Amino acid sequence: MTLPRTNRTFAPPVMEARRWLEGVTFTDEFPLINVSQAAPVEPPPEPLRQHIAETALNVAEAHLYGPVLGLPDLRAEVARQWSTNYDGNISAEQVAITSGCNQAFCTTISAIAGEGDEIILPTPWYFNHKMWLDMIGAKVVPLPTDDILLPDPERAASLITQRTRAIVLVTPNNPGGVEYPAELVNLFYKLAQRHRIKLIIDETYRDFDSRSGPPHNLFADPEWPDTLVQLYSFSKAYRLTGHRVGAMVADTSLLGGGEKFLDTVTICPNQLGQHAALWGMRNLSQWLAKERCEILDRRAAIVENMPQLTTHGWRLMGAGAYFAYLSHPFDTPSDQLAKALVSDHKILCLPGTMFMPKSDPGGAKQLRIAFANVDCTGINMLYDRLKRAQY
């Protein structure tokens, strides 16, 4: 009997980690520090919630099926703002709205790859990318990164075969937090161009990039539709996680294939969420700038506190956007260490083994810290607990 392809992949990591909390007691004096998930836990700002409520009451079509590729006004706004932000030329027809960025990735892969085709993923990878590729029967080709979590285009070139369909980059990176330099992104773009494969860039966390100006110039190339697919999430920018709104920017022919996938999965993106995203894009730029500054302050707190851990053998491999990626000094593998940190130090984080192939020993020495929901005081407390850990 052939097992379903979903059996080829692992259980959802965040859900698995939550089960580690069962039976553990937390107190006001020693509360849980939850750095396991990279998602806002607060609702959208009140003006946006008010707009959602007014839309629900007054816009009848917001409760009906909408266009499979999304609201025309939202697609046009993404095209307009992205063209400005990236100094490029993007049309509304090259934008699709999806039910979250994960669905944008699944849509892209479904439009370009089939069973047995190969997709190159830098490691540590974003686990949901790996899960989807497992479930459709594609072959994941790991691309190990260096000591500061940057992938090497030359090493990637050595992995390309006749079955390679795409290279996937996530920047700012999940799980590593690293912001890929524009020059590095451009080298991967040129590599994909030469081999006539797609370069998929997941920019879910682009609103929290520490750099000013566009993070890359790929949209300035008139031929970008032949190679580039960009993915995005409104969830992190406007706290719309429960509304599931994402986007993909790609060649219109690829979106035509993607439309078939989307029509069979969700028919259309969440209408209220799309109206919320559009209003946010038009009205919340100053609010979002403040959110970015707060995240950058927390990133600074991660870096500034690190010396008290380095004296105990820890190492900060990457930090940015919502994440810090740490190498720990213990012989205990990270999958066991992460569980022990819950019971012993009331810290919930994810082990590096969730972001690596089983064959890669590096994952056993690494932990991901998602700090977006922990303020600077909480970060200080996190470091105080980690430096007391002994395994």
Q: Is the peptide bond before 172 cis (omega within 30 degrees of 0)?
A: yes
**Of 241, 233, 371, whose CA–CA distance to 295 is shortest?**
371
Q: Cite the residue boundaries of each domain of the chain with CATH code 3.90.1150.10.
A: 5-43+287-388
Give percent of the chain above pLDDT 90: 93
pLDDT at site 75: 98
pLDDT at 3 over 80: no
Q: Give the CA angle between residues 269, 8, 38 to the nearest 5°.
A: 50
Q: Is the peptide bond before 67 cis (omega within 30 degrees of 0)?
A: no
pLDDT at 366 over 90: yes
DSSP 212-256: SS-S--GGGSTTGGGTEEEEEEHHHHHT-GGG--EEEE--HHHHH
Residue 312, number of CB atoms within 10 A of its CB: 14
What's the gap between Cα 352 and its chain centre? 16
pLDDT at 336 over 80: yes
pLDDT at 268 over 90: yes
Q: Residue 23 carries which DSSP code?
A: T
Lowest mean pLDDT among 36-45, 127-136, 151-160: 36-45
Residue 302, number of CB atoms within 10 A of its CB: 23
Residue 26, number of CB atoms within 10 A of its CB: 12
Q: How far apart are CA 238 and CA 16, in angstroms?
A: 27
**Residue keyed to tokens 């081999």:** 195
203-247, pLDDT tens digit by residue? Answer: 999 999 999 999 999 999 999 999 999 999 999 999 999 999 999
Q: Give the CA angle between residues 175, 276, 375 to the nearest 5°.
A: 40
Specify the amino acid at residue 159. L
Reduce the DSSP state of residue 141 to 3 states and report it.
Answer: strand
pLDDT at site 38: 80
pLDDT at site 40: 83
pLDDT confidence bin for 378, thresholds 50/70/90: very high
Q: How far apart are CA 164 and CA 141, in angstroms?
A: 9
Q: How far apart are CA 318 and CA 323, in angstroms?
A: 8
pTM given for the model: 0.95
Q: Cite the residue boundaries of each domain of the chain with CATH code 3.40.640.10.
A: 46-284
**Of 224, 243, 205, whose CA–CA distance to 97 is shortest?**
243
What is the rounded average pLDDT for all residues in the chain? 96
Question: Considering Cα of 149, then 348, then 207, then 244, what sign does the dihedral take?
Answer: positive
Neighbour-count burial of 11, counting CB atoms closer than 10 A to its CB (0-12 exposed, 13-18 middle, 19+ buried): exposed
Question: Considering Cα of 347, then 353, then 354, then 355, what sign does the dihedral take?
Answer: positive
The radius of gyration of the chain's CA atoms, rounded to the nearest angstrom, is 21
- Cβ contact 130:354 at 8 Å: no
87-105, pLDDT tens digit by residue? Answer: 999 999 999 999 999 999 9
Choosing among 3.40.50.620, 3.40.640.10, 3.40.50.2300, 3.50.50.60, the CATH entry for 46-284 is 3.40.640.10
**Of 241, 274, 232, 237, whose CA–CA distance to 41 is shortest?**
241
pLDDT at site 175: 97
Class of domain 5-43+287-388: alpha beta
pLDDT at 311 over 90: yes
Q: How far apart are CA 335 and CA 349, in angstroms?
A: 10
- Cβ contact 174:318 at 8 Å: no
What's the gap between Cα 53 and its chain centre? 28
Q: Residue 313 carries which DSSP code?
A: T
11-46, pLDDT tens digit by residue? Answer: 898 899 999 999 899 998 899 999 998 888 899 999
**Of 259, 276, 275, 255, whose CA–CA distance to 267 is shortest?**
259
